Amino acid sequence: MTLTRDARLLQTFSKLADTLVDDYDIVDLLQLLVDTCRDVLEMTAAAILLDDGRGELEVLASTSESSRLVEMMQLSAEAGPCIQSFRTGRAVSLPDITEAPAEWAGFRASALAQGYRSVEALPLRLRDSTIGTLNLLRSETGRPPEEDLTAAQAFADVATIGILHERSIRESAVLTEQLQAALSSRIVIEQAKGVVAQTKGVPIEEAFTLIREFARSHRLGLSSVAARLVERSLTI
């Protein structure tokens, strides 16, 4: 049975809520979020950047494993809609990337070269703490429908609650530790993708898909599976 769009949105909220347990996997949570933005909200691409604890943004999840998308997001984290949203704690809309300000030249050139024409940057924020941004890219100019942006911000809010679950945001040391752990997990996942790509003789994109499918089919955390692949204690 084919689910309606609204049903898929509700299903995603349910899945996000299910992750709010002691052993949830942050990377898997955020990957679900960006995939939903692409598939259900019909964005061309989506990515999440998190604060590394030192005020710098790092890509933690994206709908494409293409290094070009990651590099573009990093450019935005240096000067672009991502960093502006992160610093202000507010949504930043750029309906036409060609009209980006001069100081965003690096991001503008990279985005246009990859076929993106508009971007929305939404803060991952809880009260006065902003821990990252959700970034939505489209291959056409103009803003997405307002209801889609509302849904995306709601996804971002749920993800933020998940990241900060049972952690006091007033204890900066604890927050830094959790975010650093998430970023460290991403490094291990990158290594695991290389291992699978080499052993299976498949592209990086397919390697990541294989890892995720194995983790989900065996009810294991994505980071845990990645670590075992890197240690060579697991093969898929």
What is the residue extent of each domain of the chain? 12-166, 169-236
Of residues 64 and 189, the one with the higher pLDDT is 189
Fold topology of 169-236 = Arc Repressor Mutant, subunit A (1.10.10)
**Rounded to whole angstroms, how far apart are CA atoms 95 and 146?**
13
129: Cβ–Cβ under 8 A, 6 or more apart, which residues?
A: 164, 169, 175
Residue 139 near residue 115 (C-beta atoms within 8 A): yes
* 211 alpha carbon, distance to own chain's centre: 17
Burial state string for 154-177 with b = 16 or more CB within 10 A and e = fewer than 16: ebbbbbbebbbeeeeeeeeeebee
Give the list of residues 6+ apart from residue 10 with CB closer than 8 angstroms, or none: none
Nearest CA-CA partner of 132 in 103, 93, 175 = 175
Tens digit of each residue's pLDDT (9 = 90 or more) over 61-110: 899 877 578 678 878 888 999 999 999 999 999 999 999 999 999 999 99
Determine how many CB atoms are found less than 10 A away from the CB of residue 191: 14
Query: How many CB atoms are located within 10 Å of the residue 223 CB?
Result: 21
Contact 26, 182 (CB under 8 A): yes
As beta bridge partners, residue 133 has 49, 123
Give pLDDT, residue 174. 60
At residue 153, the pLDDT reads: 93
Query: Widest CA span of the chain, in angstroms?
Result: 50
Mean pLDDT score across all residues of the chain = 86
Could you tell me the pTM of the whole model?
0.72
Cα separation, 139 vs 151, whole angstroms: 20
Q: Is-contact 27 182, C-beta < 8 A?
A: yes
Paired tokens of 75: 């450019």
**Residue 70: exposure state from Cβ atoms within 10 A (0-12, 13-18, ≥19):** middle
Whole-number pLDDT of residue 73: 83
Q: CATH homologous superfamily for 12-166?
A: GAF domain (3.30.450.40)
